[in-house]
Amino acid sequence: MSDDLRVLAGDCTITFEDTETTTQRGDVVALVKPDNTVLVHDAEGYQPAAWLTRAEAVSVSENVITAIDGDRQLRVRAHEEHGSDSYSVSPTGEAVGICPDDECGATLIRTTGAVACTGCDRRHGLPSDASILTETCGCGLPLAAIDRGERFEVCVDRTCESLDERVQDAFDGKWGCPKCDGDLQIIRRGGLIAGCERYPDCEVGFSFPNGTITEDCGCGLPKFETASGTRCLDATCEAT
Ligand SMILES: [Zn+2]
Ligand SMILES: [Zn+2]
Ligand SMILES: [Zn+2]
Ligand SMILES: [Zn+2]
């Protein structure tokens, strides 16, 4: 996804109104980000001289930027403009491949919760614990490795290949319900759940841990090695 970043450089008066009004003047560079964040940078340090994060409304006219958010207003007025323009910007992240769309071909990057294209609107949501592999799917997108009981390598596009189906194929009916004669099946309710097949008569359900199965717990359910340690599928289990 790419969008325009607006840049204004000049000798400006910067007025910030909150409970009181502060006015500054100097040669600055003002940035208006696609999410309406406005940053005014002067000569020193990384911190802006003035800013308004994700303003409700931003207007940019000839030589004035006005950003309004509730009772706060930031106004940048150029007395003399050194330059102004718009530039295309995208999210940044580790480069993980090339967009397979014939007409795009831009770089794919890994953001916290997705693989996104820097050139088009392509975005594939991913669990935050997924790691992106160098191998690609037949569709051209990279594969992701995701630990759900065991390590699954699936396409980052869940409409191409479903992680849920792979986990279901591996673990549906594999463990008995600790409360009744039913088996646990894998369903998605927000997150992945190992829940009793006799629902709603039996309400046993465990959220499926992000990790791999290492051994059986004394209770008969599996134990998972997760980022925060080893735990039983039943997070409340006290068996060893
Ligand atoms: Zn693309
Ligand atoms: Zn694919
Ligand atoms: Zn049950
Ligand atoms: Zn247990």
**How far is ligand 2, taken at its centre, from the CA of residue 156, in Å?**
7
Q: Please tell me the distance from the alpha carbon of residue 156 to that of residue 125, in angstroms, as a whole number.
A: 8
How many other CB atoms are found less than 10 A from the CB of residue 18?
Answer: 12
Q: How confident is the model over 161-202, as pLDDT tens digits?
A: 999 999 999 999 999 999 999 999 999 988 899 999 999 999
pTM: 0.75
Asked if residue 30 lies in contact with residue 84, where contact means CB atoms within 8 angstroms, the answer is no
Q: Where are the beta strands (DSSP E) in the chain?
A: 3-17, 21-32, 38-41, 50-52, 57-60, 64-69, 72-89, 94-98, 107-111, 114-117, 123-125, 131-136, 142-155, 184-189, 191-196, 205-207, 211-216, 222-226, 229-232
Q: Please tell me the distance from the alpha carbon of residue 234 to that of residue 11, in angstroms, as a whole number.
A: 63
Residue 239: per-residue pLDDT: 80
Q: How confident is the model over 55-102, as pLDDT tens digits?
A: 999 999 889 999 999 999 999 999 999 999 999 998 899 999 999 999
Residue 1 has pLDDT above 70, yes or no: no
Residue 91: per-residue pLDDT: 86
**How far is ligand 4, taken at its centre, from the CA of residue 165, in Å?**
25
Q: How confident is the model over 11-30, as pLDDT tens digits?
A: 999 999 999 999 999 999 99
Residue 16: per-residue pLDDT: 98
**How far is ligand 3, taken at its centre, from the CA of residue 182, in Å?**
5
**How far is ligand 3, taken at its centre, from the CA of residue 173, in Å?**
12
